Amino acid sequence: MDSMDRMGRRAAAWAAAGVMVLLTGCAGTIKQDARVQGDLSRLEGVGTVVAKMSPDAAKQQGDNPQFNREELATRLRYRLESRGLTAPAATHQVEIVVTDIRVRGAFAAIMFGFMAGDDHINGHVRVVDPSGRPLRSFEVKASYALGGLAGGQDGARLGWLYDKFADMAAEELQKFVTPPRAGAGTIAPVAAGAPLPAPASSPSATSPAAAPAAQVPQAAPGVASTAAIDNVEAVPVSERGRAAYREWLTHKKPRAFIISENGWFYSVWGTKPPDPMEPTDPLERGMKRCRDAGRPNCQAYAIDDRVVYIKPGSPATTAAN
């Protein structure tokens, strides 16, 4: 009998040790996006949890078919509900944009362990207002690197990643989402593929308050601009827009300066946009922001070191093409 008791205690000890190994195999980090700092003073609870995929993550989905963004949204929803941070009538929502996923095959995890790399889910978590404008944003990285039997089952490892990502995201959201005074409610997870709007705090886009309307100088129809790239006064925008253009000239290529009627402008550079759902090409990104904002006659004024501007209303073939 004593022998059986000792064997039982030994088995329990091994089981406890195994659980500890599994838990320590999961790791994660959070990084705040200081550029997104909207007003959350009136935020009381959130209404939905939306899961999206960046273009890069969507490509990775084919190699990781077991990943389910709806499951990730559901687990975060459960965490928020348990903290009383949800409300059916809430107008704000939480958006997850998955940017990088990887789940090792069972054979690679068992045979090679951490030498085969890690399993991970990386993504941005945002609180957005009813218009889709991000008010807070942070990056979550959840990883699992153990191999052997502990890392053998794809579903088990993926479940640990879901939970780790959701736990960290909920903990961070609790810092600025307050419980609704009327009490918590239930919400539904949503998996969507629509691109996110550019963060309102991004220095590359303007608003009516930041960029007053200005009259566009008249030019002969069909005549492309001959202005030099550093001729700031020739840019058909407001003084605030010209100041942005001066700054734009200091940035490295690739870059694009987009304008539209009434003095609107979009100063864009680099291939790593703050929003992972946006195009990496600056010209495409700037034109998308301009068109998504509903600006009239969006077109490039300058690309890299070339002025390509043609007055709106002139023939469709431009130097930008």
**DSSP per residue, 259-320:** E-GGG-EEEEESS--SSTTS-SSHHHHHHHHHHHTT-SS-EEEEETTEE--B-TTS-S--TT
Predicted confidence at residue 118, as pLDDT, reads 72
pLDDT tens, N- to C-terminus, the chain (321 residues): 555 556 556 655 544 444 444 444 567 889 998 888 888 877 888 988 989 998 888 888 887 888 888 999 999 999 998 888 988 778 899 999 999 988 765 444 444 344 445 788 999 999 988 878 888 999 999 987 654 444 445 567 788 889 999 999 999 999 988 888 744 344 445 444 444 444 333 334 443 333 333 333 343 444 567 788 999 999 999 898 999 999 999 999 999 999 988 888 999 999 888 777 778 889 988 888 888 888 888 889 999 999 988 865 544 433 333
Predicted confidence at residue 2, as pLDDT, reads 57
CA distances 128 to 96, 133, 186, 221, 253, Å, are 11, 5, 18, 42, 31
Predicted confidence at residue 311, as pLDDT, reads 65
Residue 298 near residue 258, CB atoms below 8 Å: yes
- Please give the Cα distance from 219 to 233 (Å, whole number): 15
- In the chain, the N- to C-terminal Cα span, in Å, equals 86
Predicted confidence at residue 262, as pLDDT, reads 80
Residue 130: asked if its preceding bond is cis (omega within 30°), the reply is no
pTM of the model: 0.51
Handedness of CA 105, 110, 116, 122 (dihedral sign): positive
SS3 of residue 224 by DSSP: strand
User: Domains of the chain: which residue ranges?
Assistant: 27-191, 202-321
CATH code: domain 27-191 is: 3.30.160
Predicted confidence at residue 145, as pLDDT, reads 66
3-state helix, strand and coil shares in percent for the chain, rounded to the nearest 5: 35, 25, 40
